[in-house]
Amino acid sequence: MLIDSAAMAPAERAEAIREAIWDSVVRVEITHQPDPRLIRTVGAISTVGPLKVCSVRANATTIRRTRSLARDDLEPSVFVGLQVTGSSMVVQDGREALLEPGDLALYDTTRPYTLLNRDGIHQHFFRIPRAELGLRAGTLDRATAVRLSRRDPLADLTATCLRRIARHQSHPAPSSEHCLDAAGRPGIELLRALVTARLGDQHGASEALHDTLHLRILDYARTHLGEHDLTPARIAAHHHISRRCLYNTLSRRGICLGDWIRAQRLERCRDELASSGCRRPIAAVGRRWGFPNAAHFSRAFKQAYGLTPSEWRALHTAAR
């Protein structure tokens, strides 16, 4: 569902936005600009696996889930707010969390909360059923309205995963629906690990960190794809595990590290060669993404995509 206040008559904007949020996300009271002509809201709402995703940009609003609304028949859920730009505040359970870009905060739909966005809002919201998140009740109660700072490496990784989901749900590729549904699970696993580690639940944190080890390994490899010394030994050392543990962790999920890195590098080459802004020679693109030998790069690319790199670039140049 897409929301754009510019397509609505001013007198209908507040009610149309409220109805869309009530029907698809959560029942809340929304206080907009007093002059309906000044209401500006653009958003997208979708379902990604177990997640309900709402990405929104709007001018100043105050959002309240009141005590009476918190008693509705919505499945008990937790919201995760990811601040994109600007700042906002989450208020629940007697705590206040001031969010800056890249920060996260949780709030529970079964209790009242307030979201303050005095200078406008630009956030991604993710609604997760409490049963899917799998946090102990006491841990969750202590996690609401707590700022999870982007300066924490695990928080940054969690935000990166959620940000990718939000970005792709707004403009999905025709064949991406299954991939997006699958992506919702890693986001939940990372969030569980982040909350338990942040709040000192040692047993839960150890379990959650073990469950997300493969995600952290792949994210590290993805971040360093262009570096020629990206070896299993380096990846294992970064995560303080043996190479044997590295291989076993990934193989349990059907992942061969070498094949995965090769496929990711080829995807980066494919995307860059198709870009109108790419002026690099083909061999330079290959070297940039870990293929120092031009002949080997050309063979690998054709094996993966059925075209040589030059044919792929020519195809997209002609299409433009």
The pLDDT averaged over each successive group of 10 residues in the chain (320 residues) is 91 93 94 90 89 91 95 93 94 95 95 92 92 81 92 88 80 45 70 81 59 81 88 91 92 90 92 83 92 92 92 83
Model pTM score: 0.67
Q: What is the pLDDT of residues 81-113, one digit of tens each?
A: 999 999 999 999 999 999 999 999 999 999 999
- The CA-based diameter of the chain, rounded to the nearest angstrom, is 67
What pLDDT score was predicted for residue 206? 61
- pLDDT tens track for 205-242: 566 667 778 878 888 888 888 888 899 999 999 888 89
Quote the CA–CA distance of 36 and 158 in Å, as a whole number: 36
Select from 93, 95, 96, 88 the least CA-distant residue to 116: 88
Per-residue pLDDT tens over the stretch 55-75 = 999 998 899 999 999 999 999
pLDDT of residue 214: 84
Tokens for 223, please give them: 């971040």
- The residues near 124 (Cβ < 8 Å, ≥ 6 apart) are 53, 54, 55, 81, 82, 84, 162, 163, 166
